[in-house]
Amino acid sequence: MSVPGFVASGVACGIKESGDPDLALVATADGRPVPAAAVFTSNLAPAAPVQVSRAHLAATGGYASAVVINSGNANAATGATGREQAERTCELVAEGLGCQPEEVLVCSTGLIGIPLPFGALVSGIGPLVAARAAGGYAAAARAMMTTDAGPKDVLHVGGGFVVSGIAKGAAMLAPNMATMLAILTTDAEATPAALHAALLAAVSGSFNELSVDGCTSTNDTVIALAGGSAGPRPGLDGLMADVCTELATLMADGAEGATKRARIRVIGAESADDARRAARKVAESQLVQCSLYGADPYWGRIVSELGSSGAAFDPDRVSISYGGVEVCRAGVALAHDQAAAAAAIGAREVEITADLGLGAGTAVITFTDLSPEYIAENMRTS
Nearer to its own copies, 2 or 289 (CB): 289
User: Could you write out the DSSP letters of every residue in 202-241?
Assistant: HHHTTGGGEESSS---S--EEEEEEEEEEEE-TTHHHHHH
Which one among 18, 335, 348, 379 touches its own copies, defined by CB under 8 A? 379
What lies within 8 Å, CB to CB, of 43 at 6+ separation is 216, 217, 218, 220
φ, ψ dihedrals at 152, nearest 5°:
-120, 110
Active site residue 179: yes
**Residue from 112, 198, 222, 230 in contact with its own copies (CB under 8 A):** 112
Rounded CA-CA distance 33/194 in Å is: 16
Among positions 149, 333, 340, 360, the unique one binding its own copies when judged by CB under 8 A = 333
Angle between helices 300-307 and 286-293 (to 10 degrees): 160
DSSP letter assigned to residue 45: S
In whole angstroms, the minimum distance from the beta carbon of 313 to its own copies comes to: 4
Active-site residue (options: 41, 78, 179, 221) = 179
Among 111, 194, 342, 343, binds its own copies (CB under 8 A): 111
Q: Does 18 bind its own copies (CB under 8 A)?
A: no
**Residue 355 within binding range of its own copies, rule CB under 8 A:** no
The C-alpha torsion from 206 through 208 and 214 to 216, rounded to 10°, is 120
Write out the DSSP string of 326-355.
EEEETTEE----HHHHHHHHHSSEEEEEEE
Q: Report the C-alpha gap between 1 and 192 in whole angstroms.
A: 25
Pick one of 1, 55, 114, 200: the residue that binds its own copies (CB under 8 A). 114
For 133, which DSSP code? Answer: B
Give the nearest distance from C-beta 274 to its own copies in angstroms.
11
Q: Does the footprint of its own copies cover residue 381 (CB under 8 A)?
A: yes
Of positions 115, 119, 150, 231, contacts its own copies by CB under 8 A: 115
Catalytically active residues are 179
Q: Which residues bind its own copies (CB under 8 A)?
A: 42-46, 74, 76-79, 81-82, 111-115, 171-172, 213-218, 284-287, 290-291, 293-294, 296, 298-301, 303-308, 312-316, 318, 328, 330-333, 370-372, 374-376, 378-382
